[in-house]
Amino acid sequence: MKTQVAIIGGGPSGLLLSQLLHTRGIDSVVLERQTKDYVLSRIRAGVLEQGLLRLMEEAGCADRMHREGFTHDGTLISCGDELFRIDFTEHTGTPVMVYGQTEITRDLYAAREAAGAEIVFSVGSVVIHGADTDAPHVTYEKDGETHRIDCDFIAGCDGFHGVSRQTIPLSVRKEYEKVYPFGWLGILSETQPVNEELIYANSERGFALCSMRNEKLSRYYIQCSLSDKPEDWTDEAFWQELKRRIPADQAEHLVTGPSIEKSIAPLRSFVTEPMQWGRLFLCGDAAHIVPPTGAKGLNTAASDVHYLYNALRDFYEQDTRDGLDGYSQKALARIWKAERFSWWFSSLMHRYPDQSEFDLKMQRAEIEFLRTNAAAQKAMAENYVGLPY
């Protein structure tokens, strides 16, 4: 098989890149380790920056998103029972949209299948060959047979545990990482959200987040120990703990119900440099991880896709390599700013096991400064809605 761009990973970043390339007549093949049903079963955050919305529009996949998504003009932050609002549109003129990552993926699969795209599921033993040459290729196994794809370029959209980043020699790449000493216990419930906007809560008992997918589907999180397991928490215990961490007037109106999904996610900040090696380019979680505070994971992947898509378009349409040669530098400049915001917001809202009384006073002072200072609110709003590409 031969294609122009081999894309490893059939999640939202790989699918979005494939669909965008398709709109410009650039061929691609997508390889996915899991089944389509498995990919669509993964529960992820769904706060979308305007940059991602524009990419979905350019890809021709935005109709359902605009029809069913929820525009949010701000977010709520609490410290104990004190609650205040950061107004995105007042400070930036730009809202965000709440629309589940699963729905983004579903829309992209529908568009790719309608276009007759080549998406190969349940592949194994993926190996990238000759990425540092002018003739790269990818081999993989499917149904007991070995297959080969010859291509011009390879996009590694296969996540943190994928093969793409590992293909770049250790002598070339450098990795930066911070592992946080807690996780997030999250549940999904078929209940009305406690508030029409997200609530980020700092409490003496730890962080909590009240989020939603739609008017009848809520997503809630609480900070937990890394040693905890989902089965350690009954639904009743989760709801009781959540109520203790959010303002009393919000807890009073919290609608509880059986969880339909429950999981624990560790928190990590991670970046690899560079994000390219020869004709191999990394996108999304293959190159960087952010803690979920502030919902930057999918949005940082989208900015990578933007830079890579435009670089490939310039190569095929204008015969210039400038965008490709500068991809890593341009992508990383924005990634580190998103990493900073996610690190700052996580540090602001969580309780750390080694925090001293002084540390807690500084954290409270930082929250109070954010509550009362318009410039601080503007800076947060600019980062939350997404820095420009």
Q: Which of 288, 296, 330, 350 is catalytic?
A: 296
Per-residue HEC secondary structure of 244-286 comes to HHCCHHHHHCCCCCCEEEEEEEEEEEEEEECCEECCEEECHHH
Q: Is 147 a catalytic residue?
A: no
Looking at the chain, how many residues does it have?
389
- Is 253 known to be catalytic? no
Burial class from Cβ neighbours inside 10 Å (0-12, 13-18, 19+) for residue 216 reads: exposed
Distances in Å between the Cα of 186 and the Cα atoms of 51, 84, 88, 161 are 27, 23, 25, 22
Does residue 200 have an active-site annotation?
Answer: yes
* CA atoms within 13 A of residue 221's CA, in its CB half-sphere: 28
**Catalytic residue list contains 72:** yes
Q: Which of 99, 109, 180, 200 is an active site residue?
A: 200
Whether 384 sits among the annotated catalytic residues: the reply is yes
Q: Give every CB contact of residue 271 below 8 A, 6+ residues apart in sequence.
A: 175, 176, 177, 287, 288, 332, 335, 336, 339
The four Cα atoms 16, 13, 387, 311 give a dihedral, to 10 degrees, of: -70
Return the amino acid letter for 85: R
For residue 111, give both structure tokens: 């568009």
Catalytic residue among 22, 72, 91, 350: 72
Q: Is the peptide bond before 181 cis (omega within 30 degrees of 0)?
A: no
Q: Which of these is catalytic: 22, 247, 292, 327? A: 292
Instruction: Report, as residue numbers or ranges, the catalytic residues.
Output: 72, 200, 292, 296, 384
